[in-house]
Amino acid sequence: MRNLDTLAAQTAQEIVRGVIPQEDTDATKKAAALDNVATKTLGVLQENGVYAATLFLYSRSSTDAKIALFVRTRLLGLAAHEVLNRPEPADQAPEALKFVTDHICNDLDTLLLVKQLWEQTLIYVRYGAKARKEEK
């Protein structure tokens, strides 16, 4: 079995690098936006669960939409590949929400594992975004 904390850290690093490229001149603004999306998603995840967090990430608009797209594809990919050993769903809300319902929420052990894994990943994303903000 793979170390889930390492997977959370690797996924968080991938999200931070994807949203805020190293050479980006607007890194401070993007870091703040990523921190905001990650914080809000984490709050929804902790209060309402995996399905609600997925819905939340699909409901973002304006500048948050691109960040939410990156975050949700990585979180769903993490759950699909590392927890469920299956391909991730297409990035369309109906398919992704059905995937979450049928394959994650359907089993309590899987649901709790994915929730914990996503929480740890989002915490690392927040810290990573804050660190990038401080670099500039």
Q: Which domains does the chain have, with CATH numbers?
A: 4-135 (1.10.520.30)
Categorize the per-residue pLDDT at 2 as very low, low, confident or very high, splitting at 50, 70 and 90: confident
Cα torsion 10, 16, 17, 18: sign: positive
CA distance linking residue 105 with residue 113, whole number of Å: 11
44: pLDDT strictly greater than 90: yes
Q: pLDDT, tens digit, for every residue of 19-30?
A: 988 776 778 889
Mean pLDDT for all residues in the chain: 93
Mean pLDDT of 52-58: 97
120: pLDDT strictly greater than 90: yes
Cβ-based neighbours of 90, under 8 Å, separated by 6 or more: 96
pTM (predicted TM-score): 0.93
Nearest in space to 66 (alpha carbons), one of 99, 20, 27: 20
Write out the DSSP string of 26-37: THHHHHHHHHHH
Q: pLDDT, tens digit, for every residue of 9-18?
A: 999 999 999 9
Categorize the per-residue pLDDT at 136 as very low, low, confident or very high, splitting at 50, 70 and 90: low
Nearest in space to 51 (alpha carbons), one of 3, 4, 110, 124: 110
